[in-house]
């Protein structure tokens, strides 16, 4: 198989990432009690996910659990969350070495393989990188490389160079909808450039991120959820929300998606504008008067019934994981703030308020996330991605103890 050669400036940039020490600029001291809590959380997660595996049959993928109805909800492999279950199993396996988790993950991955050719969704990063990308770090295999490359190729077909973005939701031909969540799918493209030497994937990711900075973000570094572009000219037609409280509000999980996405952009390019963007988003979130003291956000920072608005554990988990990477790239003062906030989030998500008892909650680790409030779906329930990023955040915190 032949691929385009990686252009020299990009190659030099990749080499500079390796030699610059970007991944070890700062070191922060984890608390022993938090590390002990994390160890217990991993052990409990092992029990929970083996319990979850009994809740559904082959061909199904965990989605959520409705405690009021005692109902476990699943999806097929094309649902955007299909990759989080195997990803969580694999991350838990890294910590517990329980072979049963690896066996279940590998079995689940088989049903996900066909999505590498799915060109009808922008969520292939979530679906394929969180699953097969994690698997490739746990047990590297040539077939995983091929799956990841094919997934990136499929995602790339949704890129429109006139708009400068990857299409998110399919809609009318004249419209081109892009959501902030799409920043999370760019890591799949960076990975494809590393695997193939083809810089086209890298360039698509950079172009998408630059367009997102230009049009998704307000001066205060809060983000719109949805931008509707003219598919022919690339002009912005609408700036709005779908899952947030209002068009001009700050939907909590969307803010966390953006933060995480621009941290990845800085890691992969070492371009300071992405670091500045991530720091700006972090400042908006951490200085927000509506961020609760326990740092678990309300589902929208502008919900009108604060402080009685529902919390979103998924937004907290994503934010904590992002901050625990971002703290490595900034000065000591900012880094310590980011580290401390992430530590607080991990502590509070580990309490009975948010963490489920064993063999309950459908097997999910966390309770109290919000999926799509305006549509009335997945309201105050566990969600697969809340668990995935919570596990990842705990792994990143634990890494500071080494």
CB contact set of 304 (below 8 Å; sequence gap of 6+) = 245
CA distance 347 to 385: 18
Which one of the listed residues 44, 46, 70, 123 is annotated catalytic?
123
CA distance 126 to 164: 21
CB contact set of 214 (below 8 Å; sequence gap of 6+) = none
Please indicate if the annotation marks 181 as binding a ligand. yes
Please indicate if the annotation marks 167 as binding a ligand. no
Q: Would you call 123 a catalytic residue per the annotation? A: yes
Please indicate if the annotation marks 137 as binding a ligand. no
Other CB atoms within 10 Å distance of the CB of residue 15: 10
Q: Would you call 58 a catalytic residue per the annotation? A: no
CA distance 352 to 9: 50
279-316 burial: b if 16+ Cβ within 10 Å, else e: bbbbebbbebeebeebbbbbbbbbbeeeeebebbbbbb
Helix (H) or strand (E) holding 40: helix 32-52
Which one of the listed residues 44, 68, 98, 181 is annotated catalytic?
181
> What is the biggest distance separating any 2 CA atoms in the chain, rounded to whole angstroms?
57
Other CB atoms within 10 Å distance of the CB of residue 64: 23
Please indicate if the annotation marks 251 as binding a ligand. no
CA distance 284 to 282: 5
β-pair type (236-240, 226-230): antiparallel
Question: Three-state DSSP class for 391?
Answer: helix
CA distance 228 to 371: 22
Please indicate if the annotation marks 357 as binding a ligand. no
- Please state the residue numbers annotated as binding site for substrate: 123, 181, 241, 253, 257
Active site residues: 123, 181
- Please state the residue numbers annotated as binding site: 123, 181, 241, 253, 257
């Amino acid at each position: 198989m032949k691929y385009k050669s990686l252009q020299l400036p990009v190659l030099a940039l990749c080499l500079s990432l390796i030699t610059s020490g970007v991944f070890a600029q700062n070191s922060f001291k984890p608390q022993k009690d938090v590390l002990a809590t994390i160890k217990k959380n991993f052990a409990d997660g092992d029990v929970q996910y083996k319990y979850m595996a009994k809740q559904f049959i082959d061909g199904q993928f965990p989605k959520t659990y409705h405690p009021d109805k005692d109902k476990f909800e699943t999806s097929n492999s094309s649902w955007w969350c299909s990759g989080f279950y195997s990803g969580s199993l694999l991350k838990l396996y890294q910590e517990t070495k329980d072979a049963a988790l690896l066996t279940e993950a590998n079995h689940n991955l088989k049903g996900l393989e066909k999505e590498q050719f799915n060109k009808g969704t922008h969520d292939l990063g979530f679906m394929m990188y969180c699953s097969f990308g994690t698997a490739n770090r746990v047990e590297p295999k040539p077939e995983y490389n091929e799956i990841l490359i094919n997934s990136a190729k499929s995602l790339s077909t949704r890129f429109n160079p006139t708009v400068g973005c990857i299409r998110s939701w399919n809609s009318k031909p004249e419209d081109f909808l892009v959501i902030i969540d799409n920043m999370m799918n760019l890591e799949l493209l960076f990975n494809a450039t590393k695997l193939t030497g083809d810089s086209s994937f890298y360039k698509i990711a950079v172009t998408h991120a630059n367009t997102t900075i230009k049009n998704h973000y307000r001066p205060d570094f809060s983000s719109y959820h949805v931008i509707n572009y003219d598919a022919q000219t690339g002009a912005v037609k609408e700036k709005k929300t779908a899952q947030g409280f209002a068009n001009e509000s700050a939907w909590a999980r969307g803010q966390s998606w953006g933060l995480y996405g621009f941290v990845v952009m800085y890691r992969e390019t070492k371009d300071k504008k992405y670091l500045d963007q991530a720091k700006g988003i972090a400042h908006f979130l951490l200085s927000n008067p509506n961020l609760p003291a326990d740092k678990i956000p309300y589902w929208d920072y502008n919900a009108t019934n604060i402080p009685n608005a529902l919390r979103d554990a998924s937004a907290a988990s994503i934010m904590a994981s992002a901050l625990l990477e971002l703290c490595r790239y900034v000065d000591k003062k900012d880094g310590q703030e980011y580290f401390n906030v992430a530590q607080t989030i991990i502590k509070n998500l580990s309490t009975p308020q948010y963490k489920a008892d064993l063999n309950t909650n459908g097997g999910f680790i966390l309770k109290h996330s919000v999926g799509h409030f305006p549509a009335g779906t997945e309201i105050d329930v566990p969600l697969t991605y809340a668990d995935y990023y919570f596990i990842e955040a705990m792994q990143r915190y634990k890494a500071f103890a080494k």
